Structure 1
């Protein structure tokens, strides 16, 4: 007699390929309407689940874990895991998996999309054509910031940051970066290490926020730090929205100290600060970093393989705890 399939709950819809693979391996319940689940709603829906497949839009902390007595594995379709209380999960006997490495290239592509559109006034250009107000080419129309010889300051030179730096070099940008620790020379590839964030801000023309989310970094980019940046600088955020103080960034953009911004992430998603919508010098995208079919499939397979490795008594490389 075959063993029953483990019970799993899918908090958000995954790609068809991954959902089909999950149904082959689990007794799968799905959040069919793909809505963002509040913790109590998630706990009710996943009450009997042994495996919870979640994303960065759900939070898993001690009160929710207490409502999931059967849970053994929490697998998040994300690199970041600040939405999961790892200590509480360990105390509850829950192993936690994430999806490192496989989304770095896709996120770097979107980072460059944000950078280019911020520097070359992509939102304004699109609106000019769509509105019907464009009257043809003009010598001084929508002049933007050229990239060759400029300095890109990368805050967070991890896997994604290094992929961004590799692409940025092709546009003639010099690379500086700030990490907690300096990289080995073979990973720096000629990038300049700045031992302090303040030093990085003072020297860069474009700030690329690529650090993983962490409670200690919330609001780190505030009015004081934006004021350290060169007049006419550009800010790009591919990391986490809550690293940026929205009021401070909006004020710096509105007042002209900062030239432009490109943002893919926001605090309190999907509730974007309304001030951004009033600014023409901000290019906005809806958290698209890893949004390619190939990447989301790879992320899903990484979770499936990690769950299966745990079932065999092995330790997968993407096990956080």
Structure 2
């Protein structure tokens, strides 16, 4: 079985894949363009793609597809046109569960770093600008006991909620498209996102990407947030209208933002780079060796299932 892995993986993951399949591991760090994805679908039995690889409707169109499975490396799969894949007879899977804890940890990193001005403080220190401790130096926002509003209460949202409540005594409110029950911590589900935006000290976005959530947070939603509130995004960059966010931050409409993802990553507005009340991370959500290996092996498990004639366990299309 011919397998294409579109980016380098951890050593443990690559060793497992090459031992099991006729594996080609692409060395280029750039995402697959549409033409490359189209060619890959005609050359390999299975593909393990990653974020940004352009498996669009155009890539799946036409005859001669050899690929039977696109086993995405990651829980989010909005870079894959699942309807086009389904129409072409190609199974699509993802890697749920294994990304939960690492991504929730990054959400907490962004909450704390943004509220306590950690990035700004480090930059001052590294630049030699610190003149010593003062009672009013770099006063930030207290996190413990605050209100966290989580948009999207799936696995990651629940893990963030648990950390906020159990670790920092925060009150948890959330908005979700469907009713959520059997939570392990006290949390209040709000009927609409506007109600959440009006009360939360920290608004955390934990929704899947895709057309249904694109620009979920735009100018109108940012205007409904409290002036002393922070926006935290660990979902997908295009969930936020980035231009509207820049305007809201520049106008002092909200207190700050913590971002791990960007609308046009790796590009971002220069205005965001210049803002001291914004914490910027280079998409580190799942970036631990343990998690990235687990993600790769989870994707591989779906390929193994297909090769053995079983139903891939993480099928999304």
TM score, norm. by length of structure 1:
0.95
2:178 corresponds in structure 1 to: 181
- 8 Å CA contact 2:41–2:60 kept in 1: the answer is no
Structure 1 residue 50 and structure 2 residue 66: aligned?
no
Structure 1 residue 138 and structure 2 residue 134: aligned?
yes
1:85 corresponds in structure 2 to: 81
Measure the CA separation in 2 of the matches of 1:46 and 1:14.
20
Higher deviation after alignment, 144-153 or 306-315: 306-315
Structure 1 residue 38 and structure 2 residue 33: aligned?
yes
Higher deviation after alignment, 9-18 or 155-164: 9-18
- 8 Å CA contact 1:233–1:260 kept in 2: the answer is yes
1:10 corresponds in structure 2 to: 5
In angstroms, what is the RMSD of aligned CA positions? 1.4
Distance 1:45 1:96, change over 3 A: closer
Gaps of 5+ in 1: 1-5
Q: Paired residue for 1:118, among 114, 121, 124?
A: 114
- 8 Å CA contact 2:85–2:92 kept in 1: the answer is yes
Secondary structure of the corresponding residue to residue 183 of structure 2: helix
State how 1:165-204 maps to structure 2 within 5 Å.
Answer: 165-169=161-165, 170-184=167-181, 186-187=182-183, 189-204=185-200
Secondary structure of the corresponding residue to residue 217 of structure 1: coil
Q: Paired residue for 1:71, among 67, 71, 93?
A: 67
Number of matched residues? 315
State how 1:300-319 maps to structure 2 within 5 Å.
Answer: 300-319=296-315
1:261 corresponds in structure 2 to: 257
Ranges of 4+ aligned residues in structure 1 off by more than 6 Å: none
Measure the CA separation in 2 of the matches of 1:234 and 1:220.
16
1:162 corresponds in structure 2 to: 158
- 8 Å CA contact 1:176–1:192 kept in 2: the answer is yes
Instruction: Quote the offset at 1:44 in angstroms.
Output: 3.3
Gaps of 5+ in 2: none
Secondary structure of the corresponding residue to residue 183 of structure 1: coil
**Could you give the per-residue CA deviations for residues 90-119 of structure 1, whole angstroms, max 9, x where no partner exists?**
121111110000110000011100110110
TM score, norm. by length of structure 2:
0.96
- 8 Å CA contact 1:11–1:42 kept in 2: the answer is no
State how 1:191-270 maps to structure 2 within 5 Å.
Answer: 191-270=187-266
Instruction: Quote the offset at 1:35 in angstroms.
Output: 2.0
Instruction: Quote the offset at 1:188 in angstroms.
Output: 5.7
Measure the CA separation in 2 of the matches of 1:15 and 1:106.
16
1:20 corresponds in structure 2 to: 15
Higher deviation after alignment, 201-210 or 65-74: 65-74
Measure the CA separation in 1 of the matches of 2:188 and 2:111.
20
